Each structure stands twice: as structure tokens, then as C-alpha cells.
Amino acid sequence: METFNYNLKNKVVLLTGASKGLGYETAKHFVKNGSNLIICARDSKKIKKTFKELQKIKNKKQKIIYSVTDVSSLIEVKKLVNLSIKEFGKIDVLVNNAAIIGPKGHIEKVNWKDFLKTIKINLLGSILLCRTVIPYFKKRNKGKIIQLSGGGAAGPSPMLTSYTISKVGIVRFIENLSEEIKKFNIDVNAVAPGIMLTDMLNEMVRAGPKKIGKDNYKKFIKAKKSGETNFKKICELILFLSSRYSDGISGKIISATWDNWKKWIKYKKFLKNSDIYTLRRIVGKDRGFKLGDNSNY
């Protein structure tokens, strides 16, 4: 099995949604691998608590700062990025993790303001972070962007529409962006972490089958009963995508659970020229329905 020495010493990582769950676990992994961190979340008490916990495990030469930031706010995002440049002089890695589950239920019944809020945070907030950081990456001719995707990006998840369309939208954005900035040695990828035992999962279970649908409810209950989330596997993928080992891999949506990404370093040229691990339309011939396509075989 492949093992990597990520050696992220002196790298500056900007991590959003870091106050709990996967964000907190990711922050700990970056600190343990030598990174400097700027972390943010909307909840001032929670992000301050996370900051204090991370201070306990960092070494003397590492620096961690935190910010109370709403990623859907242009003003606050600019302040966040400028703070990182001021304190560290650079940003090497952006990890967009901040997200909310949003309203649950039939589309005609959900609260419209809550629906729009979900799109603003999950989709537009992530795009806003990217477009604010990219000028710095272009000046340095390098950079890494890791975008957390999620349920619904690769398949339907009814009754959770605002969440799922925000996630599929951000995956398409990531592939677009990778093409726009590829000549600047900036790698941009999305990570599908799978179902995690977090506050978000608990929120969906509490909502019940009437709000999120019977199939979703059964899926989430099964996940909750399965035990603890393997955060280590997800965080290792994020570290891999932040490191030199992933140089040249870009525009992909990568499953932390199902994809054998540790072997990808041997096939970078093939991956670069292929649309595998991306979102594509399924046509008739892909499923043996030849009469459905206006083409010859």
C-alpha cells in the first residue's frame, strides 16, 4: 500500500467551516503535518474553541489564526483573504468546507429564504472564496483548491434540493475553473466524503422521513447505526490533494471512500487527458438502449 510523507511544513492553509465535524478533523490533520492555518466559521464561540484546541497540538514554529466569517459575504471573504496575506504573506491551499443542509421537504413547501441562503453559502460562498484567492495563486504560479462536495452531486436526493443542487453546481464550477487556470499550475478538485456522522447527519435524522423522504431517512439511519466516521480516510485525501503528490491532477470529483486515489500518481498523464472522475450525461448506448440515440454503432 502506498504511503506518503506529505511534508506540508510552512504551507499556509485557509480552511472554511472549521469549527466542527470534518472541518475540525481536517484542521487537526493539517496541523499534525506541519501546516500553518487560518480557520473560519460563522459561530464565534465554536471557532474560538477550535482555535484553542489546535493551539494545544501545534509546535512552536507553527502559527494558527482564526476568523469569524460568513463565506457568502463579499466583504467578509475579502477581509479573510487579506488577513491571511497580511499574517502569513501567502496562501498555498484553500479548502472550501463550509456548508449547511438547508430546508428539507417538497420544493413548493420549503421556505424560499432558507433555500436561497443554502445556495448562497454552499455554492456562491465557495465560488467567492475561489475567485478571491485565485489572483494570489496566479501571481505565484501555483496553488491548490480542494472543494468539499457531498450528497446529491452525482445523483438525485429529493427533499434536500437546495443542498444537492448547490453541491452539483459547485462540482461543475470546479471543473470549469480547472480549465480556466490550468496554465498557472493551480490544481482544483472536489472531494466526495460520503455520509459522515456529524451534526448535519443528526439534523437530517431528526427531520424524519416526512421531511427528507423515506429512502433518504433509511440511508441516514443505516449510516448512523454503522458507527463512527472514518475521518482519517477523508482527511488523507485532502492532504494528498494539498501536497506535491497530486500536482497535475485537476478538475476531478474524487470519492474518499471508493476511489483508489493513492495510485493516481502513476497515471497523471492519462487522468489529465480523460473525463473520468467527472460529471457527464449518460446516453442510451451507455446502458444498452441503442434505439434511443440518433447515431450509428
Q: Which residues pair with 144 in a beta bridge?
A: 93, 187
Q: Which helix (H) or strand (E) holds 195?
A: none
Neighbour-count burial of 1, counting CB atoms closer than 10 A to its CB (0-12 exposed, 13-18 middle, 19+ buried): exposed
Residue range 12-53, pLDDT digits in tens: 999 999 999 999 999 999 999 999 999 999 999 999 999 999
148-173 confidence digits (pLDDT tens): 997 678 888 899 999 999 999 999 99
Q: Is the pTM for the entire model greater than 0.75? A: yes
The vertex-88 CA angle with 86 and 92, nearest 5°, equals 115
Give the tens place of pLDDT for each residue, 240-281.
999 999 999 999 999 998 999 999 999 999 999 999 999 998
Q: Which of 36, 66, 34, 32 is nearest to 49 (CA)?
A: 66
Could you please state the CATH topology (level 3) that the domain comprising 12-196+230-292 is classified under: Rossmann fold (3.40.50)
Which amino acid is residue 215, in one-letter code?
Answer: D
pLDDT attached to residue 201: 77
Encode pLDDT of 207-250 as tens digits: 888 888 888 888 888 877 876 667 899 999 999 999 999 999 99
Euclidean distance between CA atoms 235 and 196, whole angstroms: 12
Residue 45 confidence (pLDDT): 97
- Residues contacting residue 97 through CB under 8 Å, at least 6 positions apart: 15, 16, 17, 18, 22, 23, 26, 148
Domain ranges of the chain: 12-196+230-292
